[in-house]
Amino acid sequence: MGNYDALLVVSFGGPEKPDDVMPFLENVVRGRGVPRERLLEVEEHYQRLGGASPINDQCRDLIEAVRPTVDLPIYWGNRNWHPFLEDTVRRMADDGVRRAAAFVTSAYGSYSACRQYRDDIARARAAVEGAPEIVKLRHYFDHPGFLAAMTDHTRQALDRLPAGVREGARLVFTAHSIPVSMAETAGPEGGLYEAQLRRAAALITEAVGGDRAWDLVWQSRSGAPHIPWLEPDVCDHLEKIDAPAVVLVPIGFVSDHMEVVYDLDVEAAETAERIGLPLVRAATAGVHPRFVSMVGELVAEPEPLACPATCCPAPRRRPG
């Protein structure tokens, strides 16, 4: 047990009303070289679904589910929208918190999925006098709780397919694409993001049983078109594969936020419909009881080792 006096949930953040959408997006892409056209396209996705992302409510739900399982006050702070991490860390300091465990709503390594959250925490602490020590819990892509939740949800999705195509259905695992350069420098030896995703996908496929074919593909590509990102994109992949049916399994995410409900449930679903491919999407971990209990189990583990200083370097900052 790491001797913590609080649990801090750290997440991405999302808009909660139409007027939040543009300022939220500006926060996400500041200095990242994402073209204006891409930003306006994504704004349209958020506005089409009512100008709000489900992600903040999903964080609230997870916190309420975890609360009875850990004997610690729980705080919550985001990278890109209210409640901002810095405000939360200030509140923690005011409350006298000395040493908190940080649970991040991303299971994997890489700059975007891990180090950027560490940097967010460091920046928030630097801005707050008397800020508590904050220890980021380990990557949990292979924790039995995360795997059990994803295995259950994958089985439930298979059950929703018509019986005639269920047997031969292919599991198509998806995760957020990242720039190839970021993938190559993920973790101490490079390639960690993709390696962890492949490991989780293989373990879930094995647990689902039935010797199924599976793929790992990418979604939600951002950035400038001339910069290479991980491929293939999920929609291109669906058009090419030869399978009687597909279960999409968004293992790269832990809740059914915008990247899931738009990029998969709208875009990938449209592609599948157009080509006549039966497709269902497995739920993310969300508040599955094993995922919820995992959080307390991570808090009870010995304190994780610090990351090597050289892994997952930040990409070069670009003009907006």
Ligand X SMILES: CC1=C(CCC(=O)O)c2cc3nc(cc4[nH]c(cc5[nH]c(cc1n2)c(C)c5CCC(=O)O)c(CCC(=O)O)c4C)C(CCC(=O)O)=C3C
End-to-end CA distance of the chain: 43
Supply the minimum distance, in Å, between the C-beta of residue 83 and ligand X. 15
* Residue (153 or 170) nearer to ligand X, CB: 153
Q: Is 125 helix (H, G, I), strand (E, B) or coil?
A: helix
Alpha-helical runs (H) found in 99-160 = 116-127, 144-160
Question: Is 185 a residue that touches ligand X (CB under 6 A)?
Answer: no
Supply the minimum distance, in Å, between the C-beta of residue 227 and ligand X. 10
259 among the known binding-site residues? yes
The region of 257-265, 272-280, 293-301, 302-310 touching ligand X under the rule CB under 6 A is 257-265
Hey, what's the torsion of the CAs at 37, 39, 43, 46, to 10 degrees?
130
53 among the known binding-site residues? yes
Supply the minimum distance, in Å, between the C-beta of residue 237 and ligand X. 18
Peptide bond into 319 cis (omega under 30): no
* Residue (161 or 183) nearer to ligand X, CB: 183
Computed over its alpha carbons, how large is the radius of gyration of the chain? 19
Site for ligand X in 125-144 (CB under 6 A): none
Supply the minimum distance, in Å, between the C-beta of residue 180 and ligand X. 11
Site for ligand X in 11-70 (CB under 6 A): 12, 14, 25, 28-29, 32, 34, 38, 42, 53, 55
The whole-angstrom separation of Cα 174 and Cα 251 is 6
Supply the minimum distance, in Å, between the C-beta of residue 252 and ligand X. 6
Question: Is 178 a residue that touches ligand X (CB under 6 A)?
Answer: yes
* Residue (105 or 293) nearer to ligand X, CB: 105
Residue 229 identity: W
With residue 87 as reference, give the H or E element that holds it. Answer: helix 85-94
**What angle in degrees, to the nearest 10, is found between the helix axes of 144-160 and 192-208?**
60
β-bridge mates for residue 246, sequence order: 170, 279
- Look up residue 226 and give its DSSP letter: T
Q: Which two tokens stand for residue 88?
A: 């939360």
Question: Is 250 a residue that touches ligand X (CB under 6 A)?
Answer: no
The whole-angstrom separation of Cα 61 and Cα 82 is 16
Among 176, 237, 281, 290, binds ligand X (CB under 6 A): 176
The region of 2-10, 123-131, 203-211, 252-260 touching ligand X under the rule CB under 6 A is 252-260
Site for ligand X in 102-121 (CB under 6 A): 105-106, 112-113
Among 252, 272, 277, 284, binds ligand X (CB under 6 A): 252
* Residue (72 or 261) nearer to ligand X, CB: 261
With residue 248 as reference, give the H or E element that holds it. Answer: strand 246-249
The whole-angstrom separation of Cα 300 and Cα 283 is 27
**Are 103 and 9 in contact, with CB atoms under 8 Å apart?**
yes
The region of 70-78, 236-244, 254-262, 290-298 touching ligand X under the rule CB under 6 A is 254-262
Q: Which two tokens stand for residue 279?
A: 């497709």
Peptide bond into 15 cis (omega under 30): no
Known binding-site positions for Fe-coproporphyrin III: 53, 117
Using CB under 6 A, list all residues that contact ligand X: 12, 14, 25, 28-29, 32, 34, 38, 42, 53, 55, 105-106, 112-113, 176, 178, 220, 222-223, 252-253, 257-259
Annotated binding site for Fe(2+): 176, 259
